[in-house]
Structure 1
Amino acid sequence: MDPGPSLARQDSLGTPDAVDHNRGPEEPEATVGYDLQRFPVDVDDNPVDASAYGILRDQYNDLIGTILAVGRREYGGGNDGAGVREYSVVRGSGVDSVSPTLDPSAENPILMELGLTARKNRSYLIHQPSAATTLEIVSTEAADTMEITIEDEGASTTETIALDGTTAVTTTSEFADIDAIWLADNPDGNVTISDGSGTTLCELTGGLEYSGDDQPVDGDRGVPPTGAGSHAGEIGTNFEHFVGDRFERPAGEAVRARINSASWTIENNINTQALHSTRAPAIDAGNRGVSVDADAAGPYISHKSMMEALQKVQQHIEHELSGGIFRFKNAVPTDSASRTVEAEQAVASISETFSCSGDPAIELEATN
């Protein structure tokens, strides 16, 4: 995760040194990688895996939605000696790219990688209380009167309370641990959550800290709660491996005589634009690029690749996993093989890229 801060040097006549550095729009991005278990959609074409948000488009050719991602790590120590939870919060992210690693020589499952272009990325520290305690919340600005929601892990204890600006308010519930702190709106001032006895457990930065003047800009809202929902349990199905998958072009024929490794990529070419009211960028999806890369080997393989590119031979590529079929439409070698002949070459091998087209250029067919 990268919050994407942009700071530019400010120069002045009469001195060779910078007189300041000023903040500009943020350009947040993140990458998520995971071992693949689920096919992106179910048999009713509902998205059930995060990759679907980068593969599918809606009826208006836009992304079907954005993703909120929260990661947590835990450390010892902390302000109350009971440990610290460090959170990575990625908000409003469009999936700009989807790409699995298809390596038959690998022992591990297919690695699915998502490139995220976010509106805002933030890091938070929540120090854990050493014993169950009520929590005191206060802001440095009187204008901060929005609600704040606090949850423990699993949301068995949760409370929503209204801030009263610079006047401290106290929860009625006691919290043995804290897993989410979420403001209903962006705060102007810095919001402090403590145990009421002088131990600070969390601080949320207000918009005035991010502003270059007295106009608040994008205060931090914190770690989102689960609310009426819940954290998902284990998927509980087998992991997907490339070994044994059907990988054909066209259906019924091997893509090439040997496939040493492969990958395919969906790129949404997301464009970001600065906005005057926030440092978070606007996110707009561009044209979708669908391509399949293959490292292959076999007799006269470079000849086939070259001739198919010259003749614009378009055929569907089908990659079938245990959960369904990825169908890449009208795949043609746009980056065909270059022929290299070496004296000690045991077998001819090439790398090539197939580009796809159609409306849509990729189809998902869940089989179970």
Structure 2
Amino acid sequence: MTEPDEGGIRLQRGEFVRETTRGEPPSDPSFEAYSDTIMMYPGWEPEANIEAQRGVGTYRPEDFFAGPEDHSGITIAYHLQRALVDGDGDPVDAITDGIQRDADNRLKNTHTFVGREEHNAGGAAGGGKRIFYVGHGGLVASGEIPFATDTALPIENSLTYDFKRFMVYVVDQPSGSTTLDVESTDPSDTSQTLTIEDEGATTTEDVTLNGTTTETTTESFPGIDALSLDAETTGDVIVKDGSGNELARIAGSDSYDQGEGDLGIPALGGGSHAGSVGTPFEHFIDDSIEATTGSLGGTNARIVSSSFSFDNNVDADTVGGRFRSLYENEQTLSLDAEVFGPESNAREIEAYLQNKGIDVKWTADSFTVDLTGGTRTSSGEANKEANQGRATISPQFEFADITLASV
């Protein structure tokens, strides 16, 4: 059986968990689903900041070196299915973690992300393979919730992360239940512990590394779904099956110019993977957006489409090493709208020139979003054309505050 290529129609699992300590996956994580329908993940193009070394007397590079890694702009898109907040105003949907701040004006939550693609053919042992995308310390840097009246599909949320760490692991699967051999490529790796789990952590074992000496598990594993190190290693950690086939490798600090190694795929422990959300999807067709203070388009105006977005203007510091420290700055709350009506062009331009304030409320099936203290940052363009039955205008708004509530 020929191994399939990577692709969006392969078996996929994408989930997140809120971190109790920034940059670290929680113990026994209870993963959550973004939605039962994910449109895109991970939207990741890493930046290793490779630079060429050139010296006097040569016109070609002498060597190449990697700098601090940049894992920003990682995008997840999905159909909105969960409420934004619960009855206490706490976040439910993942995108809400990019909106709410704590008493110190920091984002309340960061995320650990794990995506998995499964192949049932190929692999070093013929048992298929699993490809994992793993991120730690993910700040929801920005996000967008678009609304349109002319589509039957649910609202498609899009959130963009900045992660401190992000890595991909290819884990070949054993062809049958087998013990596993674990060793490092460096003799100094004798204090780290590797946790191995199969699907759902039904079978699990902790293996203490013994340098380049092979340690064999007591348990037999029918598959591998987590390989988690409690500390970075100097050498690469190699996992083989009982026949000597290399199934997985976790790179140590020697494998990177910056000298910091990987930690592998988070262990599930007593936690759980995300189950089906199972609730109805959110459709804008039966929602409403209206101005509660001021006017949106004037008398009898109607909204064709709209889009709410936010940006936390995340920045990063590098103080040496492979990974950056991330921090959020000022938050921008924006709304774009396309409106038409008997006087929409005139009223929107008038309100913009006079800097008239506006508050806007979005009422969905299970929650409300109140945007307050707003103003127009653009009126949009008034444009009358031949054969035009209606003239739309697309103003842009910025707001000072936002309140999320459940219905």
Q: If the TM-score is normalised by the length of the shorter chain, which range does it land in?
A: over 0.9
SS of structure 2 residue aligned to 1:73: strand
Equivalent positions of 1:336-347 (< 5 A) are 336-347=379-390
The CA distance in 2 between the partners of 1:46 and 1:142, in whole Å, is 48
TM-aligned CA distance change 1:121 to 1:2, over 3 Å: farther
Per the alignment, residue 206 of structure 1 pairs with 252
TM-superposed CA distance for 1:254, in Å, is: 6.2
Per the alignment, residue 235 of structure 1 pairs with 277
Say yes or no: does 1:225 pair with 2:270.
Answer: no
SS of structure 2 residue aligned to 1:333: strand
Per the alignment, residue 259 of structure 1 pairs with 303
TM-superposed CA distance for 1:331, in Å, is: 2.1
Equivalent positions of 1:112-261 (< 5 A) are 112-144=157-189, 145-211=191-257, 217-250=259-292, 257-261=301-305
Kindly report the root-mean-square deviation, in angstroms, between the aligned alpha carbons of the 2 structures. 1.5
The CA distance in 2 between the partners of 1:188 and 1:196, in whole Å, is 25
The CA distance in 2 between the partners of 1:316 and 1:251, in whole Å, is 5
The CA distance in 2 between the partners of 1:114 and 1:258, in whole Å, is 28
Say yes or no: does 1:363 pair with 2:406.
Answer: no
Say yes or no: does 1:42 pair with 2:82.
Answer: no
The CA distance in 1 between the partners of 2:342 and 2:65, in whole Å, is 60
TM-aligned CA distance change 1:307 to 1:254, over 3 Å: closer
Say yes or no: does 1:109 pair with 2:109.
Answer: no
Per-residue displacement from partner, 1:213-251 (whole Å, max 9, x unpaired)?
A: xxxx22111111112110121111100011110211117
Say yes or no: does 1:316 pair with 2:356.
Answer: no
SS of structure 2 residue aligned to 1:332: strand
Say yes or no: does 1:62 pair with 2:106.
Answer: yes
TM-superposed CA distance for 1:161, in Å, is: 1.8
SS of structure 2 residue aligned to 1:138: strand
Per the alignment, residue 302 of structure 1 pairs with 345
Q: TM-score, normalised by structure 1?
A: 0.94
Per-residue displacement from partner, 1:172-210 (whole Å, max 9, x unpaired)?
A: 111101111000011111110001321011011111110
The CA distance in 2 between the partners of 1:356 and 1:282, in whole Å, is 29
**More displaced stretch, 329-338 vs 229-238:** 329-338
SS of structure 2 residue aligned to 1:249: strand
TM-aligned CA distance change 1:104 to 1:140, over 3 Å: same
**More displaced stretch, 114-123 vs 138-147:** 138-147
The CA distance in 2 between the partners of 1:207 and 1:163, in whole Å, is 16
The CA distance in 2 between the partners of 1:298 and 1:281, in whole Å, is 50
Say yes or no: does 1:279 pair with 2:322.
Answer: yes
Per the alignment, residue 11 of structure 2 pairs with none
TM-superposed CA distance for 1:315, in Å, is: 2.0
Would the aligned equivalents of 2:297 and 2:340 in 1 still touch at CA under 8 Å?
no
Per the alignment, residue 87 of structure 1 pairs with 132
Per-residue displacement from partner, 1:84-121 (whole Å, max 9, x unpaired)?
A: 10111121110000211212212211111110001111
Per the alignment, residue 70 of structure 2 pairs with 27
The CA distance in 2 between the partners of 1:231 and 1:84, in whole Å, is 19
TM-superposed CA distance for 1:11, in Å, is: 1.6
The CA distance in 1 between the partners of 2:216 and 2:90, in whole Å, is 43
Q: Which runs of 4+ in 1 moved over 4 A?
A: 251-256
Per-residue displacement from partner, 1:263-297 (whole Å, max 9, x unpaired)?
A: 10111000011121x21111010000001111222
Report the residue type matching 1:182 in the other structure. Answer: S
The CA distance in 1 between the partners of 2:261 and 2:385, in whole Å, is 61
1:8 to 37, 43, 51: 51
Report the residue type matching 1:193 in the other structure. Answer: V
SS of structure 2 residue aligned to 1:243: helix
Report the residue type matching 1:35 in the other structure. Answer: H
TM-aligned CA distance change 1:252 to 1:288, over 3 Å: closer
TM-aligned CA distance change 1:118 to 1:229, over 3 Å: same
Q: Count residues with an aligned counterpart.
A: 359
